Amino acid sequence: MAEPRTRIQQKNRGAILDAALEVFSQHGFRGATLDQIAEVAGLSKPNLLYYFPSKEAIHVELLSGLLDSWLDPLRELDGAGDPVDEIVSYVLRKLEMARTLPRESRLFANEIVQGAPRIMEIIEGPLKALVDEKAALIAGWAEAGRIAPLDPHHLIFSIWSTTQHYADFDVQVRGILGARDDAHFDDAAAFLDRLYRRALTPD
Amino acid sequence: MAEPRTRIQQKNRGAILDAALEVFSQHGFRGATLDQIAEVAGLSKPNLLYYFPSKEAIHVELLSGLLDSWLDPLRELDGAGDPVDEIVSYVLRKLEMARTLPRESRLFANEIVQGAPRIMEIIEGPLKALVDEKAALIAGWAEAGRIAPLDPHHLIFSIWSTTQHYADFDVQVRGILGARDDAHFDDAAAFLDRLYRRALTPD
Amino acid sequence: MAEPRTRIQQKNRGAILDAALEVFSQHGFRGATLDQIAEVAGLSKPNLLYYFPSKEAIHVELLSGLLDSWLDPLRELDGAGDPVDEIVSYVLRKLEMARTLPRESRLFANEIVQGAPRIMEIIEGPLKALVDEKAALIAGWAEAGRIAPLDPHHLIFSIWSTTQHYADFDVQVRGILGARDDAHFDDAAAFLDRLYRRALTPD
Amino acid sequence: MAEPRTRIQQKNRGAILDAALEVFSQHGFRGATLDQIAEVAGLSKPNLLYYFPSKEAIHVELLSGLLDSWLDPLRELDGAGDPVDEIVSYVLRKLEMARTLPRESRLFANEIVQGAPRIMEIIEGPLKALVDEKAALIAGWAEAGRIAPLDPHHLIFSIWSTTQHYADFDVQVRGILGARDDAHFDDAAAFLDRLYRRALTPD
DNA sequence: GATGAATGAGTCTTCATTCAT
DNA sequence: CATGAATGAAGACTCATTCAT
């Protein structure tokens, strides 16, 4: 099954993963049922298990399959442009992902809040490596006096949390703002742009 | 049962709520089982239901019982001292809560990530009211030029997210930092202090 | 406990039995709970079991305690007056019991419909003896030509069923008649009087 | 599931309903357990709930499914033949049903004795309508002097009670008569034939 | 590939009964 | 006498997974 052959197989696997994203991100792993996923996917429950060996396998496949694209914005952070612009641009890309891919964000949030039992190795392995690399880049900027001296790891954490907050805590944000559409994302973008620009620009 | 009379009742109700906090915060509502809670509380499962009518009742009692103290730091935010100091002080109090009360933070995180089915009214009612009140206070500071002009609602959201991140995503933070104790909380405090002080101090 | 001493004991035993009659007659043995009985009786559940060793004991006590008075009308049937008047009078006494003691009637109905697991010996013993005795009396009247020749056992069954019907199937009777009070009992009395008088009076 | 498609579904649904009739009629709704029904039906308990969503759904399906045929004898009562013969014939048809379908009779008896919580609408709706219609027919006969003047509603009640008594109170009837087979049904038929014929035939 | 049918292992909840005071 | 506290056993219902076709 590692390399699906037919078109129908690819289509169904895709439908399953999309349905699983929908259901897992909303109810968490334990709260989600195969019945729900099967119904959203438009397949029968046994047919689900024809494509994936178990509920957990679907979840793992989802997490690992999405992680790569989830980290793309961070990978794009490089030394080319102005450091402050680079970082602010990363913030805004992350916020845009929270707007367009909230299910993915909540999928990871659910998993991590509950102790990340299924992706601990990834966190301590590839993810840590990537973060350390980018933290070194940022530290270099700070040492060169091109940005204010701020702990780069915690800077990254703050960027993750402030942006993903609009996906993970969406229902709270909307409840407090009384928001009925996505207009508040523009306000959030303006706020975060100003917050990080002010904090990062060297004196 | 609203006002427990005997000592043994208070003791057991307390033990149940503490155990439930432990289990719910780690596994979410659906993922938690009464068996787990009973074991942690050191009681039998039917005895749990002697004190609370249902699993959901325990959860609701927990959420509503904790919400008040959870919001105390925000309530303390007032117009007495220097605005920047006031806000930074609020940030640090929140971070301290994330350090000392991570289970409470994760309890709310679990609930909200999954759509807050049980506390929506609280969010749209008392919580919104409190936030609006404090946002007005902050907006007044900005208009008076005593802090940089930043959207006060989104400022509060950013404070919540950056601080609670250290509780809710604790396992990820530790995985990336390789942290084995709580020392990184001090780094986080230093970082957030600097971040907000730089961003808020008027030019 | 066979001979209760104190007044409070007698009072509580009475309250329990009355409450049990209320609850058992409405929900059957299995459908009734000690909690319900305790609440109706105004006692705590363990206190119930101080007076009676078990739920079943309450039920048995109720059944055997009430059976005697339940059969009184039949015992009163004797050879003194006119046979037709005697029997019709018995019918009306039974109907009056259905009106005034519907709970007792339903208690027995519940028990017997479900196979009378707890009073089978009584049925086959004292009850059968009493019925056989009265059937012999009626048979004597028939042989003497003083009433029409009708099988006396089945005559008694018909009297039981037609009269107790107004207690046991009360909700159905009321639903069909649209009755809101007990006025239909008078119609029933008139009907049964006429039915049995016509059927029993010899040609 | 409203219209079972496959043969195996029809077979299993039928087996479940038959088993449920057996168990519910003997123990009432509360006293019956899914375990018992499953065992009688020869299925596993979860498999029961694959065919019906809940215990109550089985009960409701049973009641509503059987009511129609249960009322057939009354529907057949019409103005074609001699009124007394018509009514006596109805009595005997009902008695025959009590002999051949005692479980159905006890199912309804259990339900009605306990207040008919699940079929009250049917009683006050279609059942009342049917009874009112047939009562009008009988009243017409009485006015025309073709039968003795007896309240038609109560006449119908008496027919129901006297005949169903042999099903609902079967254990008591057998206990008193010492009956080991169904021979007493013939005596009952002779008795009821005579009772109603004498009572109904105009002077 | 697909699905109707089936089930073992839970999971919440109820309830008669017991214990300790 | 009385009751707060506790529990074992059972009962309805769920759900991931397997089987058979």
**Is residue A7 over pLDDT 90?**
no
Under an 8 A CB cutoff, do B127 and A29 touch? Answer: no
Q: Is residue D1 part of a domain?
A: no
Q: Write down the pLDDT at residue A1.
A: 46
**Is residue D42 over pLDDT 60?**
yes
> Does residue C119 share a domain with residue C145?
yes
Q: Write down the pLDDT at residue B44.
A: 95
Q: Write down the pLDDT at residue D8.
A: 85
Q: Are C23 and C36 in contact (CB under 8 A)?
A: yes
Q: What is the mean pLDDT of residues B23-29?
A: 96
Residue D102 Cα distances to A157, D167, D171, angstroms: 74, 5, 11
Measuring alpha carbon to C1', the residue closest to nucleotide F7 is B46
* Segment A46-82, tens digit of pLDDT: 999 999 999 999 999 999 999 999 999 999 998 889 9
With tokens 């100003």, the residue in question is: A194
Under an 8 A CB cutoff, do C27 and D192 touch? Answer: no
Rounded distance in angstroms from the CA atom of residue B33 to the C1' atom of nucleotide E11: 7
pLDDT bracket for residue B20 (50, 70, 90): very high
Q: How many angstroms away from the CA of C165 is the closest CA of chain D?
A: 6
> Does residue A40 share a domain with residue A79?
no
CA atoms within 13 A on the CB side of B37: 35
Q: How far apart are CA B123 and CA B110, in angstroms?
A: 15
Q: How far apart are CA A31 and CA D139, in angstroms?
A: 63
**Is residue B6 over pLDDT 90?**
no
Residues of B in contact with A127 (CB under 8 A): 172, 175-176
Q: Which of D116, D155, D191 sits opposite C150 (nearest CB)?
A: D191
Q: Are D92 and D189 in contact (CB under 8 A)?
A: yes
Q: Is residue A1 part of a domain?
A: no
Q: Write down the pLDDT at residue B77.
A: 94
**Which structural domain range is residue C26 located in?**
7-62
> Does residue A108 share a domain with residue A34?
no
With tokens 């950056």, the residue in question is: B162
Residues of B in contact with A148 (CB under 8 A): 194, 198
**By CA distance, what is A123's nearest residue in B?**
B175
Under an 8 A CB cutoff, do C173 and D157 touch? Answer: yes
Helix ranges restricted to H, chain C: 7-31, 34-41, 45-51, 55-76, 83-100, 102-113, 120-122, 128-143, 152-168, 170-177, 183-200
* Residues in chain C where the model's pLDDT stays below 50: 1
- Bigger pLDDT: C80 vs B146: B146
**Is residue B85 over pLDDT 50?**
yes
Nucleotides on chain F that have an atom closer than 7 A to a protein CB are: 1-20
**Is residue B149 over pLDDT 50?**
yes
Q: Work out the burial of residue D17: count CB atoms within 10 Å of its CB; fewer than 13 is exposed, 13-18 middle, 19 or more buried.
A: buried
Q: How many angstroms away from the CA of C4 is the closest CA of chain D?
A: 33
Q: Sign (positive/negative) of CA torsion B57, B59, B65, B67?
A: negative
Could you tell me what percent of chain A has a pLDDT over 70?
98
Chains that touch B (3 or more CB pairs under 8 A): A
Residue A173 Cα distances to A166, B127, B131, C200, angstroms: 7, 11, 11, 85
Q: Write down the pLDDT at residue D5.
A: 65
* Segment A13-54, tens digit of pLDDT: 999 999 999 999 999 999 999 999 999 999 999 999 999 999
Mutate to test the interface with B, among A106, A123, A169 (most CBs of B within 10 A): A169
The domain that contains B89 carries what CATH number?
Answer: 1.10.357.10
Mutate to test the interface with D, among C22, C33, C103, C113 (most CBs of D within 10 A): C113
Widest distance between CA atoms in chain A: 63
Q: What is chain B's mean pLDDT, rounded? A: 95
Per DSSP, D123 falls in state: I
Q: Is residue D97 part of a domain?
A: yes
> Does residue B96 share a domain with residue B36?
no
> Does residue D83 share a domain with residue D137?
yes
Under an 8 A CB cutoff, do A175 and B116 touch? Answer: yes
Rounded distance in angstroms from the CA atom of residue B120 to the C1' atom of nucleotide F9: 39
Nucleic strand F within 7 A of Cβ B3: no
Nucleic strand E within 7 A of Cβ A100: no
Nucleic strand E within 7 A of Cβ A50: yes
**Is residue D1 over pLDDT 50?**
no
Residues of B in contact with A173 (CB under 8 A): 157
> Does residue D192 share a domain with residue D119?
yes
Rounded distance in angstroms from the CA atom of residue B36 to the C1' atom of nucleotide E19: 25
**Is residue D120 over pLDDT 70?**
yes
Residues of D in contact with C110 (CB under 8 A): 28, 110, 113-114
Q: Is residue D34 part of a domain?
A: yes
- From D22, D40, D62, the end of a domain falls on D62
- From A62, A79, A103, the end of a domain falls on A62
Rounded distance in angstroms from the CA atom of residue D33 to the C1' atom of nucleotide E7: 18
> Does residue C178 share a domain with residue C97?
yes
Q: Is residue C187 part of a domain?
A: yes
**Is residue A4 over pLDDT 60?**
no
Q: Write down the pLDDT at residue D60.
A: 95
Under an 8 A CB cutoff, do A165 and B168 touch? Answer: no
Nucleic strand F within 7 A of Cβ D178: no
Q: Write down the pLDDT at residue A10.
A: 86
Q: Is residue B2 part of a domain?
A: no
Q: What is chain C's mean pLDDT, rounded? A: 94
Residues of C in contact with D103 (CB under 8 A): none
| DSSP calls for B93-138 | HHHHHHHH-HHHHHHHHHHHHTT-TTTHHHIIIIIHHHHHHHHHHH
Rounded distance in angstroms from the CA atom of residue D91 to the C1' atom of nucleotide E7: 48
What does the block give as tokens for D50? 């694959």
Q: Is residue C2 part of a domain?
A: no
- From B15, B39, B62, the end of a domain falls on B62
The domain that contains B27 carries what CATH number?
Answer: 1.10.10.60
Q: What is the mean pLDDT of residues D87-94?
A: 98
Measuring alpha carbon to C1', the residue closest to nucleotide E10 is B33
Q: Which of A120, A128, A176 sits opposite B153 (nearest CB)?
A: A176
Q: How far apart are CA D57 and CA D154, in angstroms?
A: 33
Q: How far apart are CA C129 and CA D191, in angstroms?
A: 21
> Does residue B75 share a domain with residue B151?
yes
Rounded distance in angstroms from the CA atom of residue B201 to the C1' atom of nucleotide E13: 57
> Does residue A58 share a domain with residue A92?
no
Rounded distance in angstroms from the CA atom of residue C45 to the C1' atom of nucleotide E19: 14
pLDDT bracket for residue B1 (50, 70, 90): very low
Nucleic strand F within 7 A of Cβ C46: yes
Q: How many angstroms away from the CA of A16 is the closest CA of chain B?
A: 20
**By CA distance, what is D167's nearest residue in C?**
C113
Q: Write down the pLDDT at residue D49.
A: 95
Count of the separate structural domains present in chain B: 2
Q: What is the mean pLDDT of residues A113-127?
A: 92
pLDDT bracket for residue A5 (50, 70, 90): low
Q: How far apart are CA D68 and CA C64, in angstroms?
A: 38
Interchain contact B/C (3 or more Cβ pairs less than 8 Å): no
∠ CA(A91), CA(A96), CA(A99), 5° rounding? 130
Could you tell me what percent of chain D has a pLDDT over 70?
98
**Is residue A8 over pLDDT 90?**
no
Nucleotides on chain E that have an atom closer than 7 A to a protein CB are: 1-20
Q: How many angstroms away from the CA of B188 is the closest CA of chain A?
A: 6
> Does residue C140 share a domain with residue C100?
yes
In chain D, positions 44-73 with C-beta closer than 7 Å to nucleic chain E are 44-47, 50-51
Mutate to test the interface with A, among B87, B195, B196, B201 (most CBs of A within 10 A): B195
Under an 8 A CB cutoff, do B165 and A188 touch? Answer: no
Could you tell me what percent of chain D has a pLDDT over 90?
91
**Chain Cα centroid distance, residue D73:** 10
Q: What is the mean pLDDT of residues D55-65?
A: 95
> Does residue D174 share a domain with residue D124?
yes
Q: Write down the pLDDT at residue C79.
A: 84
> Does residue A98 share a domain with residue A12?
no
Q: Write down the pLDDT at residue A79.
A: 84
**Is residue D130 over pLDDT 80?**
yes
Q: How far apart are CA D96 and CA B2, in angstroms?
A: 59
* pTM of the shown model: 0.91
Q: How far apart are CA B146 and CA B203, in angstroms?
A: 10
With tokens 């402050």, the residue in question is: A84
Q: Is residue B1 part of a domain?
A: no
* Segment A133-189, tens digit of pLDDT: 999 999 999 999 999 999 999 999 999 999 999 999 999 999 999 999 999 999 999
Q: Write down the pLDDT at residue C9.
A: 81
